[in-house]
Amino acid sequence: MSSEIRIDDQPCDLNGTPQLRPGFDAAALADPATAREGSSMELLLPRSPRNDRLLGDAYAPQGTRTFNLTTRRVDIEWKGALLFSGTARLLSCGPEGYRLELRDGAPQWARSAALGMLRTLPVSFRMQLTPVDICAGWSDSSAVKFFPVVRDDYPKQSSGTGLYPAERLLSVDDYHPFLQLAPMVEAIFTGAGYTVESRFLESEFFRSLYMSGAYTSHDTSLLQKRMGFFARRLSTARAQADSLGRVYADPYRTQYSVGNIVETAQPQSVDEDGEPLGEQLFNNGGCFRQEDGGIVFRPLSEVTVGFEYFLRYTTEHRILDRNRLTGFDSLYLGTGSRLQFSLANRFVDRRNNLSPNYEYLVVVFGHKEGAEYRLTYVTGGKSQTWCEFSGRTAKVSTPPTGSFSNPMLMRRGLNVWIEYTLDWALYDGYLEERGTTTVELRVSSTPVTASPTSPVRFDTIFFQGAEPGMTLTLDKECSMRPLFSGRPGYDELLEFGDVARHEVRQMELLQAVGHLFNLRFFTEEPSRRVWIEPADDFYGAGPDADWRSRTDFSEPVEFEELSPGFRERRTWCYAAAEGAVARADEESGEEFGAWSYEMTSRATKMGEERLRNPLFAPVFSVKGYYANAASASLLQVGDRDAEVPDGNIAPTVVRYCGLHSLPEGERWGFPYEQAEYPLAAFNHAGDDETEPFTLTFGDLEGAEGLRSRYLAQSEIEDLRQRITLTLRLEPHEYAALFTPGTGMPDIRSRFRLDTGAGEVVAILEAVERYDPERSSARCRFIRLMEDGLR
């Protein structure tokens, strides 16, 4: 039989044509969470002996009523076309027959995404938390990259020596994990056995998007209240390096030591200059203490704890080459955490900008003992000897008047001066080969287990990397606090689940990404394919259909204005911001990243509707934080007013633009040591390398905002109509609507229709009913702004 309805492979009796009431509604395509319910339709079966047996005599009071006790499989086939395959449940019965709800069931991906956490996604990632591995990730294909960030904090008093501010050394704490969106979204579907069809997800733009990751986080407030502390130094300490180039933070050494790394957590303490430290110091439970002159952390109960250090010190240095200085550039924290940095040579080579009556310092980087040099310059079009010297450095001055250019360094050969081919530099004359540099860094140690009988001691910490005899001065502003959050420390092995610890389910990620780009999700279950595209691209992806001749005018054509269903103002915005963005919003009275559409129709509902992203918050970028690369635009994250900072940040989304060039004289720090840095931003004004872009909904700094994904839809909802009419559709044409890729019109198509009052172009919004015997479909369409097909 070519036309039949089967329940559990048993044919049902029909009384004329079955009236199918499909549950397709295009609005559900905008929210992937609705897929958890599956699609449904209603079916009315007549009463008959066969149907009564199949449905357990549900109409009779003495009937068995067993139909809904088990899952019932139903298939509807008409004229060779499979119109439906799914499950059935009995809703009601009456004189007219049995009313059934037919449901095709939620796709497996939807069930998995609704339950699965983000961290359980099968995304491949594995690395050691070291600066070397972090830098390597910027240019590889890893699904997780660590971008440099600026933690939101209160300004600290300026520091430094001479004309240069303190050098901010970067540790692994200055980077935060960011997770590439594309492999996560794809894994949600492929992990459940589905194939994704999406030009958008494969686009270079989408593959450049990353969301902030998160480490393990739990409520540490109780631990903080019982055992937390914040300790500081009270005095400055100075020591010289030993024969290994080390200075120790060991109170038991009489030489080469600055004593304890910090000294007290006692509230109301006063430093060596008589300045009170206010309320910032605390010592809950007395767990931070001095025992026999050394500091220890002796907790009240067993706990896993790491320690965050803020260190400021001044190191004696020697100019090593044009990029680096020799000095204290490494740190051992005593728990297996050995951190190596690099002291940048921030002095400017003046060879291309000589001034009259000015003193310079010549530094010959490849100098060998006994070598002699001649320095020349060009003046008046002729080369002249500037000076001759031996040794690695020399001071030289230009004459009071004249112009000078093209300095050249010569080396004495056997009987002739030859050009020096190794590197050398010409610095301002007020500099010396040896000087001092002030360094700042914030770093966390690897967590360890501590208990009342096995406390943590800090007497094995040392600084190294200097030449013997070089001096280190440890500043009184050094501080330390415990970290109970479980945040990983230096050199720990990380996998994807370790950096994706947001309490976020996979479905929430899909909803957040869908909100940003106005995505549509459609699943074709028999082929286990999922189509995902922004609305403007989704509609029009199917073949255009000229169905002007299909209108059945024996049934009414109804027109309904769309605008009465919407508020007069709709605003698309992000989740509540934190830190710097929240303060800026409060100050300006405006919400960063938001965009509003004002309806022109006066038929709307009054008031505003705010369409807020369910997950992502906006984020600022700042420049000037890292002195060696002051032009670098870095993400400013976190909240300085958080009660217990744990290193995690509000989920945000950024675009990664790859490695971005730095101006001459700027370099990224150790171990990368290149004149470029990883540019990741929420918005970027554009430059010679990168076009402007923004992830705000509104336009910003010449870049088009995400409003472009909603503008056409908003105009349609403002100015167009819903059109309900009846079409003549054969069963195979109706089935093709829900099977993209057959070459026939489907739900993604644009349809040209005859309304009787004129021709329109529209997209399918819903199918209200379908009569396969009469090939009659009652459909709702949304009229588009244009009235012609491509």
Residue 480 falls inside a structural domain: yes
Residue 119 falls inside a structural domain: no
In contact, 496 and 143? CB cutoff 8 Å? yes
Q: What value, to the nearest 5°, has the Cα angle with vertex 210 and ends 207 and 216? A: 140
Of 106, 132, 156, the one marking the end of a domain is 106
Question: Do 445 and 398 have their domain in common?
Answer: no
- Pairing mode, strands 751-754 and 759-771: antiparallel
pLDDT of residue 1: 43
Question: Do 409 and 552 have their domain in common?
Answer: no
Residue 521 falls inside a structural domain: no
Question: Do 439 and 415 have their domain in common?
Answer: no
How many separate domains does the chain show?
A: 4
Question: Do 413 and 555 have their domain in common?
Answer: no
> Which residues 6+ apart lie within 8 Å of 776 measured at CB?
552, 726, 727, 728, 729, 770
Question: Do 337 and 386 have their domain in common?
Answer: no
pLDDT of residue 278: 65
Residue 742 falls inside a structural domain: yes
Nearest to 81 by CA among 732, 527, 733: 732
What is the H or E stretch that residue 178 is in?
strand 175-180
Question: Could you give the C-alpha distances from 761 to 99, 561, 744, in angstroms and in order?
Answer: 35, 16, 17
Residue 245 falls inside a structural domain: yes
Question: Do 417 and 276 have their domain in common?
Answer: no
pLDDT tens digit sequence for 567-615? 999 999 999 998 899 999 999 999 999 999 999 999 999 999 999 999 9
Question: Do 742 and 779 have their domain in common?
Answer: yes
Nearest to 616 by CA among 510, 692, 534, 499: 510
Question: Do 450 and 308 have their domain in common?
Answer: yes
Question: Could you give the C-alpha distances from 1 to 49, 79, 610, 729, 772, in angstroms and in order?
Answer: 20, 9, 53, 21, 15
pLDDT of residue 296: 97
Question: Do 374 and 445 have their domain in common?
Answer: no
Q: Is 607 exposed, middle or buried (0-12, 13-18, 19+ CB in 10 A)?
A: exposed
Question: Do 388 and 417 have their domain in common?
Answer: yes
In contact, 614 and 574? CB cutoff 8 Å? no
Residue 244 falls inside a structural domain: yes
pLDDT of residue 382: 94
Q: Give the number of other Cβ atoms within 10 Å of residue 477's Cβ.
A: 16
C-alpha to C-alpha distance for 473 and 592, rounded to whole angstroms? 43
Q: Is 1 exposed, middle or buried (0-12, 13-18, 19+ CB in 10 A)?
A: exposed
Mean pLDDT by 10-residue block, N- to C-terminus, for the chain (790 residues)? 79 76 83 86 85 77 72 86 86 86 86 95 95 94 96 66 69 92 98 97 98 84 91 96 97 96 91 80 95 96 92 96 93 82 90 95 95 95 94 96 95 93 96 94 88 95 97 95 82 92 96 98 92 97 96 97 96 94 92 96 95 97 88 90 70 97 88 93 93 96 95 96 96 92 95 95 94 91 82
Q: Give the number of other Cβ atoms within 10 Å of residue 125's Cβ.
A: 21
* CATH number for the domain harbouring residue 272: 2.60.120
Instruction: Please identify which residue in the block is written with the tokens 């004129």.
Output: 758
Residue 374 falls inside a structural domain: yes
In contact, 476 and 271? CB cutoff 8 Å? yes
Question: Do 415 and 309 have their domain in common?
Answer: no
Residue 628 falls inside a structural domain: no
Domain span at residue 49 reads 1-106
Question: Do 445 and 300 have their domain in common?
Answer: yes
pLDDT tens digit sequence for 399-428? 999 999 999 999 999 889 999 999 999 999
> Which residues 6+ apart lie within 8 Å of 572 measured at CB?
515, 594, 595, 596, 611, 697, 706, 707, 710
> Which long-range contacts link 192-195 to residues 24+ away (Cβ below 8 Å)?
192/107, 192/108, 192/109, 192/112, 192/113, 193/108, 193/109, 193/528, 194/107, 194/108, 194/109, 194/523, 194/528, 194/529, 194/530, 195/527, 195/528, 195/529, 195/530
Nearest to 781 by CA among 757, 754, 741: 754
pLDDT of residue 151: 85
**Residue length of the chain:** 790
Q: Which two tokens stand for residue 143?
A: 């699904």
Give 742's strand partners: none
